[in-house]
A and B are shown apart, each in its own frame.
Chain A
């Protein structure tokens, strides 16, 4: 066990040195790291020059972690509404009236026809509503978004589960895009926005000063609509009652017909009203929006136009003259921040569905800094305690073990940096724990050497036997811990995951150092000192 071929030694040292070098960028200032990254000539592969530092978790650098969930009930409701509108249109076009009208069901509608002839007249048109699910790239799944069942003269149209799932999936994709634009507009560094599970989106924003504002920006659907306030004589089925912000939540009758929607906006900027000095939002329409808005305002001069945001009337100014320039302004007793937020929301676009915050974890910068200090302190004190104890117990071998542990920790940091893993407070705990447990492999080896020595073996044969016999034990005991670590990584989330990462990496480096560095250093000691007894 103590003889090494030169190739092996070179290889071991090369791996060790390389992994340790990966930790070096952590000592540099961020600017130096960037400068280094820039300075690498093109012909050098980027992985050869380490430029990445450990990413600190939100619990260490402060920031917000917000988990949002797409409200699938909301999506189903709006899809049922669309289905109902489509069915109504078909019935009108085919001039068939079902008995009892269109009957609402939890996930669809039901029609009862007076005769099978009536039914057969409508059925082919209804079947057109049911579309296959899938797309051009991935091919068809064979499932359809709407199930149509007939029973005598009754026809049921139901949203299929596959169709709803597909709709939720698309909504999450769209929402991620919208959220990304919104968070970017806040001007934060390196936000992380990703899908989680079927219907959730995880937003992580480090180092945020105002987490409350982040949530306001994330949570709003921001569906903007321009609709006319209904006249007294309007048909009740064309009118919807909505709370009005202007008059403190009083209900206001608004026409169901939408003139222009938020998707036709090309720009929105916060500004101040030139006359009143009140914060407002200036907006501009695209060509289609400008045309419709121009036409509607020309035909309805004098009528109040409701500006509706997420089913609430923000304000309902009277149209004084046709607005044909394609731009306008929204006022509504805003504060400066509200106007700013609204402009961001309008520029980023509306969410395809309502999002609910199901989990939030915000850490202020103060606590993060305290945690870093505490973690550092614990790591230093823990390492020193263990190091002193090892030297007291094993003398020169203890020193070898200490060196191995130190290199071990540097390698963990190096691998964490290179893998882009996140270091959390529990992750630091994992490192400290590894320091305690990494020693185990050295202890196993030394105790075995001691035993072999007592059994009357010569120096070299005791060392040899000590290493080789401890090998299988070290592997077995570390693999069991590794299994626990990997499971923790797969099932855990956030900080716990950070712990699992450092624990697992720590186990790998521990086994590596025990079988290369400790052995190498022992062999080196043996060759230079040529001992007659083992000082253990």
Chain B
């Protein structure tokens, strides 16, 4: 049987020469993200903005959007967004925060129930008050920061500091661009998006670490090669794995995006973007950054390296 081979053996791409393209490109994209973030902004969901979300399903036939919009608007709870969600019989309504009063949020739900209960089933109701949404923003941000710091510390232990810094730069790059993705597509940004971002961080680091592992191995083997050439060899020899894993993860995510239902659709799209950007950043950001950070077989760490190499030889 002939096996499928996405990447031929012994590729010799000169990845490092593209750093003159990839660095400015990433820099521009990051700046665009910042601009986008402050001009267009993110489509924050009620988790972070506070407010009320109601998902309705018509008891028979299709949902009448215009009628729902008119009725919801006349309830007197400010602007309301109405859109179909999933099938033509399903509708999503979003109300903004009702001032600072938690009580008003609840009266909104009762009013909506009264208005739509006869013709529609209430599939989902989410009410997030002003205080909780503020806290969710905090814990979400804290989560991302703590995760990045935790990984930084771990990598610092396992590699030299240049690698840790390089990995964090690549991670921040992915983080920023993913936020740019959310701002550009206006996909709702909610608690699940934070989960997506942290998984992207995990995936991207996973990829970066595999490449770094190989670079470190190469550094021990080929002491006379220039660092750029060495990194090229390392990336080429892990390229097949990088592509394979990206493809399997992509396939799994594709299934999620298509069949997983509307609730996690946005999560799946963000993750797919993350897989692409994470793969790109391990090769074109994380690796070349090492050149600038001056990663080399430093004499100070030689003793430790030797011990590690010896440990690896004696490993079963």
Contacts and interface: CB of A to CB of B under 8 A. Distances in A.
Interface of A: 1, 59, 67, 69, 211-212, 215, 219, 356-364, 366-367, 370-371, 374-375, 377-379, 381-383, 385-386, 389-390, 392-395, 425-426, 428-429, 432-433, 435-437, 439-440, 443-444, 447, 450-451, 454, 468, 471-473, 476-481, 483-485, 487-488, 490-496, 499-500, 503, 535-536
A99 to B, nearest CB: 39
A331 B226 CA distance: 91
A447 B252 contact: no
**Minimum-distance CB pairs A-B, first 4:** A436-B252, A374-B261, A382-B255, A481-B202
B248 A386 contact: yes
Given A374-B261, A377-B259, A477-B209, A436 B248 contact: yes
Interface in B233-267: 237-238, 240-241, 244-245, 247-256, 258-261, 263-264, 267
Contacts of B57: 366
Given A447-B241, A487-B150, A491-B146, 8 more contacts: A1-B316, A362-B126, A381-B259, A385-B254, A425-B263, A433-B256, A437-B203, A437-B248
A273 to B, nearest CB: 28
Interface stretch (B25-33, B63-71, B105-113, B288-296): B105-113
B100 to A, nearest CB: 12
B42 interface: no
B186 interface: no
A428 B113 CA distance: 31
Contact of A375 (B201, B238, B241, B261): B261
A69 B125 CA distance: 19
Contacts of A481: 202-203, 205-206
Contact of B151 (A67, A451, A478, A483): A483
Interface stretch (B12-20, B128-136, B177-185): B128-136
Contacts of A359: 127-129, 132
Contact of A385 (B102, B128, B131, B255): B255
6 contacts: A212-B113, A361-B127, A375-B260, A437-B245, A450-B240, A468-B315
Nearest to B53: A361
B305 interface: no
A45 to B, nearest CB: 34
A356 B260 CA distance: 35
Given A425-B261, A433-B271, A454-B10, A491 B312 contact: no
B11 interface: no
Contacts of A386: 248, 251-252
B224 interface: no
Which of under 10, 10 to 19, 20 to 34, or 35 or more describes the interface residues of B?
Answer: 35 or more
Interface string B116-127: 000001111111
Interface in B134-168: 136, 139-140, 142-143, 146-147, 150-151, 154-155, 158
A440 B246 CA distance: 9
A432 B254 CA distance: 10
Contacts of B202: 480-481, 483-485, 503
Contact of B244 (A447, A487, A499): A447
A242 B69 CA distance: 39
B1 A395 contact: yes
A481 B150 CA distance: 11
Contact of A371 (B201, B206, B263): B263
Contact of A425 (B143, B213, B264): B264
A454 B9 contact: yes
B36 interface: no
A503 B132 CA distance: 26
Contact of A212 (B110, B150, B213): B110
B55 interface: yes
Contact of A362 (B4, B122, B237, B254): B122
Contact of A356 (B102, B123, B206, B258): B102
Contact of B192 (A375, A382, A473, A495): A495
Contacts, number: 248
A374 B248 contact: no
Given A360-B126, A362-B122, A392-B4, A444 B210 contact: yes
A484 B147 contact: yes
Nearest to A482: B202
B3 A395 contact: yes
A367 B158 CA distance: 46
A426 B195 CA distance: 9
B268 interface: yes
Contacts of A385: 251-252, 254-255
B289 to A, nearest CB: 17
B201 A484 contact: yes
B103 interface: yes
A165 B52 CA distance: 31
A488 B198 contact: yes
Nearest to B249: A436
A303 B303 CA distance: 96
A483 to B, nearest CB: 4
A361 B209 contact: no
A367 B241 CA distance: 39
Contacts of B140: 491
Given A437-B206, A478-B206, A488-B143, A496 B110 contact: no
B34 interface: no
A360 to B, nearest CB: 4
Contact of B209 (A67, A390, A476): A476
B252 A382 contact: yes
Contacts of B9: 450, 454
A436 B203 CA distance: 11
A432 B252 CA distance: 6
B74 interface: no
A392 B3 contact: yes
B124 A363 contact: yes
B189 to A, nearest CB: 13
A387 to B, nearest CB: 10
Contacts of B210: 444, 473, 477
B228 interface: no
A357 B247 contact: no
Contacts of B315: 468, 471
Nearest to B113: A212
Contacts of B268: 429
Given A389-B247, A447-B244, A451-B237, A433 B253 contact: yes
Contacts of B267: 426, 429
Nearest to A428: B260
A488 B131 contact: no
A436 B146 CA distance: 26
B123 A366 contact: yes
A2 to B, nearest CB: 10
A367 B238 contact: no
A367 B89 CA distance: 13
Nearest to A488: B198
Contacts of A378: 255-256, 258-261
A385 B154 CA distance: 34
Contacts of A494: 191
